[in-house]
C-alpha cells in the first residue's frame, strides 16, 4: 500500500482540563474517500479542528505525506493542501459565482488589480470539471443550496487541495442533489483528491466511501474498509456495544401486547416535510408515551417540527382528535392542543435576560391578557403554582433565568408548556444536559401528566430512557419510520438492532 497522505496518531486535546481527545488516530490514503463517524461528543470536530489548524494538539503526531507537520492556523492547512467545506457554507451569497470561487486567491494583472477575465476563465474551468454550467456573474445567493454546495467544492478544488474535508455535505440536499454530489465526489477521487467525509447518514457511506474511522468518547475505536463492515457494526462501535449480542436480539421475536391506552389523539400517515422527513407513520393515544428512536439524522426532530407546524409539510396526512389537520404555525399547533419542548434549550427555549416568571408564562400571555394588559396577579399565582409543583429552585420568580442551573431552566420551559394544559406534549431530549436529580424529577413530572391523560411524544438519544419510559417506540431511519416496538419487552440490544438493520417493512405496511 502507498504511503498514507495523512496519518494522525495518539492525538490528545483537553479544554480547561476536560479531555476532548484521549487517543485519537486517523489514516487517509491518496485518492480515498474516508468516512469519520461517531455520536455527538465523540471528538470528530475537535480532531478536524486540529487537522485544519484551528486548535493545537496537546500530544500526538501528525504526518502529512510521510513527514511530521505542525499546522498552526487554517492558512497553514490550506497552504499544505487541506481544504474544508463546512456544514454551514462559508461563502458570500451577495458576491458572484466567480468572486466566490477565487475569493482570497484572485489572479492579478501586472499592475496589481484583479484580472477578472482570468478569474472567470478559472471559475469556468473548475466548474466544467464537474459538468456544471452557471452564469458566473450572477450572485451566488440566487442559486439553490445544492448549487452553492457544488460551488464550495469547486472553490476548494481551485486551491488544488490534496485533502478535502466535507462536514455533513448532504444535510440540506434532496435525493437528486445528493446523487449529483456523489458524482462530483467520485470525480474528485478519480483525479487523485482524498476526501474526509463526515456524516450522520450512515447509508451514504456505503455508496461513496472506501474506508471508515469510528470514534467514541474522544478515542478512535475502529478503522476498516467500508466493504468489510456493516451498518450494524458501525452503530455498535459508535455506541460501544457488542454487535453479536445485537444480532442475537434481532433474531429473537419480541412478544408483547400492544398498548391499548385511551383514544387516538394524533395519527400521522406517510407524513413528509421539506427537511428530509420522507415518511412518518405514527399513532399516539391519550395517556400514552410514544418514543422516537434513531441515530442523529434519522428524522426525529424533523418529525416533531413537522407535526408542530414549524416545517412545511409536503405530503401525507395528519389527524388530531379524529379530524384532518393542517398545522401551519406554532400558534395553530397550540390551539390544537399541542406543545413542543425543543432540543436546544439555549437557542430555542429560554430568553436569558427575562425572569423565571416571564419565561414560564411566555406562551400563556395571550390567555393572560385583555386589551393588551396582562393580569399580573393571575400570572403570579400560576407561576407560584408551577415553581412549587415542579420543584424549581430559584431565589424568586423575578430572578433572571440565566442564573438558574440547566436542570431548573429545563423545568421552567416544561412549566411553560404545561401551563397551556396541552393534550399532546412533544418533548425533544427533555433531560439532556441536566444532572441525575433533575432528570428523575422531570421524568416524574412527565409520568404524572400521562397518568392524567396527556399524550407524550418523547425523543431521546438515551435508549434506556425510551425503554423505561415509553409504552411504544417508533424507530426512524433516514427520515422514515420503519418499525414500532411495544413495551414491556424491549431490550437495548433489540432497539439497536431495529435502528441498524434495513427495514423489512414500514410501519404502515405492517399495520396493513
| Calpha distance 175→152 (Å, rounded) | 19
Query: What is the pLDDT at residue 458?
Result: 93
Examine residue 349 and state whether it is found in any structural domain, yes or no: no
My answer on whether 273 and 146 are in the same domain is no
Per-residue pLDDT of the chain (512 residues; tens, 9 = 90+): 578 999 999 999 998 888 899 999 999 999 999 999 987 778 898 999 999 999 999 999 999 999 999 999 988 998 899 988 876 566 788 888 888 888 777 888 888 888 888 888 888 888 887 677 888 888 988 887 777 877 887 777 777 789 999 988 887 676 777 887 888 889 889 989 999 999 888 888 999 999 999 999 899 999 999 999 988 888 888 888 888 877 776 654 433 334 455 789 999 999 999 877 889 999 999 999 999 998 877 889 999 999 999 999 999 999 998 899 888 898 899 999 999 988 877 777 888 889 999 899 888 888 888 878 888 888 899 999 888 888 888 888 998 888 887 778 888 888 888 888 899 999 998 887 666 667 778 888 888 888 889 999 999 888 888 888 889 999 999 889 998 988 877 888 888 888 887 765 544 444 44
329 Cβ contact partners less than 8 Å away, ≥ 6 residues apart = 309
My answer on whether 301 and 226 are in the same domain is no
My answer on whether 300 and 183 are in the same domain is no
| Calpha distance 270→302 (Å, rounded) | 14
157: its cell numbers: 478544488
Examine residue 346 and state whether it is found in any structural domain, yes or no: no
| CA-derived radius of gyration, the chain | 25
My answer on whether 67 and 93 are in the same domain is yes
My answer on whether 81 and 172 are in the same domain is yes
Domain closes at, from 244, 262, 280: 244
SS3 61: strand
My answer on whether 35 and 172 are in the same domain is yes
My answer on whether 265 and 412 are in the same domain is no
Number of domains in the chain: 3
**468, 445 contact by CB (below 8 A):** no
Domain closes at, from 393, 421, 449: 421
Examine residue 408 and state whether it is found in any structural domain, yes or no: yes
Examine residue 327 and state whether it is found in any structural domain, yes or no: yes
Query: What is the pLDDT at residue 317?
Result: 93
My answer on whether 60 and 88 are in the same domain is yes
My answer on whether 169 and 24 are in the same domain is yes
Sign, Cα dihedral of 107, 108, 110, 116: positive
Examine residue 344 and state whether it is found in any structural domain, yes or no: no
| Residue 503: burial class (beta carbons within 10 Å; 0-12, 13-18, 19+) | middle
Cis peptide before 488 (omega within 30 of 0): yes
Query: What is the pLDDT at residue 407?
Result: 78
My answer on whether 329 and 432 are in the same domain is yes
Domain of residue 373: give its range.
354-421
Examine residue 342 and state whether it is found in any structural domain, yes or no: no
Examine residue 348 and state whether it is found in any structural domain, yes or no: no
Q: What is the CATH number of the domain that holds 235?
A: 3.40.50.300
Query: What is the pLDDT at residue 51?
Result: 94
- Grid coordinates 431565589 are at which residue? 395
| Residue 240: burial class (beta carbons within 10 Å; 0-12, 13-18, 19+) | exposed
470: its cell numbers: 415509553
| Calpha distance 85→158 (Å, rounded) | 13
Examine residue 345 and state whether it is found in any structural domain, yes or no: no
Query: What is the pLDDT at residue 506?
Result: 47
My answer on whether 163 and 79 are in the same domain is yes
Query: For residue 508, how many other CB atoms are within 10 A of its CB?
Result: 15
Query: What is the pLDDT at residue 126?
Result: 80
**For the chain, how many helices (H) and strands (E)?**
20, 22
| Calpha distance 154→132 (Å, rounded) | 10
Taking CB atoms within 8 Å and a gap of at least 24, the contacts of 353-357 are 353/400, 353/402, 354/400, 354/401, 355/397, 355/398, 355/399, 355/400, 355/401, 356/383, 356/387, 356/392, 356/394, 356/396, 356/397, 356/398, 356/399, 356/400, 356/401, 356/404, 356/412, 357/383, 357/397, 357/398
Q: Would you give the distance in Å from CA 391 to the centre of its chain? A: 31
Domain closes at, from 203, 226, 244: 244
**112, 97 contact by CB (below 8 A):** no
Angle CA 394–442–369, to nearest 5? 60
My answer on whether 70 and 176 are in the same domain is yes
**460, 466 contact by CB (below 8 A):** yes
Amino acid at each position: 500500500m502507498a504511503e498514507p497522505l495523512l496519518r494522525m496518531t495518539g492525538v490528545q486535546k483537553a479544554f480547561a482540563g476536560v479531555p476532548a481527545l484521549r487517543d485519537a488516530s486517523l489514516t487517509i490514503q491518496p485518492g480515498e474517500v474516508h468516512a469519520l463517524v461517531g455520536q455527538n461528543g465523540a471528538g470528530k470536530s475537535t480532531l478536524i479542528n486540529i487537522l485544519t489548524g484551528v486548535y493545537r494538539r496537546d500530544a500526538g503526531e501528525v504526518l502529512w505525506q510521510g513527514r511530521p507537520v505542525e499546522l498552526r492556523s487554517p492558512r497553514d492547512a490550506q497552504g499544505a493542501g487541506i481544504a474544508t467545506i463546512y456544514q454551514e457554507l462559508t461563502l458570500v451569497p451577495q458576491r458572484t459565482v466567480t468572486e466566490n470561487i477565487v475569493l482570497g486567491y484572485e489572479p492579478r494583472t501586472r499592475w496589481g488589480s484583479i484580472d477578472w477575465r482570468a478569474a472567470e476563465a478559472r471559475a469556468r474551468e473548475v466548474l466544467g470539471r464537474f459538468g456544471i454550467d452557471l452564469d458566473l456573474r450572477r450572485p451566488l445567493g440566487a442559486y439553490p443550496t445544492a448549487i452553492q454546495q457544488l460551488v464550495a467544492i469547486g472553490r476548494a478544488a481551485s486551491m488544488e487541495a490534496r485533502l478535502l474535508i466535507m462536514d455533513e455535505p448532504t444535510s440540506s440536499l434532496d435525493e437528486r442533489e445528493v446523487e449529483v454530489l456523489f458524482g462530483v465526489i467520485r470525480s474528485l477521487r478519480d483525479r487523485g483528491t482524498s476526501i474526509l467525509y463526515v456524516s450522520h447518514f450512515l447509508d451514504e457511506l456505503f455508496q461513496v466511501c472506501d474506508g471508515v474511522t469510528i470514534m467514541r468518547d474522544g478515542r478512535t475505536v475502529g478503522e476498516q474498509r467500508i466493504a468489510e463492515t456493516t451498518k450494524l457494526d458501525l452503530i455498535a462501535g459508535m455506541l460501544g456495544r457488542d454487535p453479536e449480542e445485537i444480532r442475537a436480539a434481532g433474531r429473537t421475536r419480541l412478544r408483547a401486547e400492544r398498548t391499548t391506552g385511551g383514544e387516538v389523539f394524533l395519527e400521522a400517515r406517510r407524513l413528509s416535510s421539506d427537511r428530509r422527513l420522507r415518511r412518518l407513520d405514527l399513532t399516539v393515544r391519550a395517556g400514552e408515551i410514544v418514543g422516537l428512536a434513531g441515530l442523529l439524522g434519522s428524522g426525529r426532530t424533523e418529525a416533531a417540527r413537522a407535526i408542530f407546524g414549524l416545517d412545511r409539510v409536503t405530503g401525507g396526512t395528519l389527524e388530531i382528535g379524529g379530524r384532518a389537520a393542517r398545522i401551519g404555525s406554532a400558534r395553530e399547533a397550540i390551539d390544537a392542543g399541542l406543545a413542543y419542548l425543543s432540543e436546544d434549550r439555549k437557542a430555542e427555549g429560554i430568553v436569558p435576560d427575562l425572569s423565571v416568571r416571564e419565561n414560564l408564562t411566555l406562551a400563556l400571555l395571550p390567555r393572560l391578557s385583555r386589551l393588551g394588559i396582562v393580569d399580573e396577579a393571575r400570572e403570579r399565582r400560576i407561576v407560584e403554582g408551577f415553581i412549587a409543583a415542579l420543584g424549581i429552585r430559584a431565589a424568586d420568580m423575578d430572578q433572571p433565568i440565566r442564573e438558574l442551573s440547566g436542570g431548573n431552566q429545563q423545568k421552567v420551559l416544561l412549566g411553560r408548556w404545561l401551563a397551556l394544559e396541552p393534550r399532546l406534549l412533544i418533548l425533544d431530549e427533555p433531560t439532556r444536559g441536566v444532572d441525575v436529580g433533575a432528570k428523575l424529577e422531570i421524568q416524574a413530572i412527565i409520568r404524572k401528566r400521562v397518568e392524567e391523560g396527556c399524550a407524550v411524544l418523547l425523543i431521546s438519544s438515551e435508549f434506556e430512557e425510551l425503554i423505561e419510559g415509553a409504552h411504544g417506540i417508533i424507530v426512524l431511519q433516514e427520515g422514515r419510520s420503519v418499525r414500532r416496538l411495544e413495551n414491556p419487552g424491549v431490550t437495548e440490544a433489540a432497539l439497536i438492532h431495529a435502528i441498524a438493520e434495513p427495514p423489512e417493512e414500514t410501519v404502515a405496511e405492517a399495520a396493513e
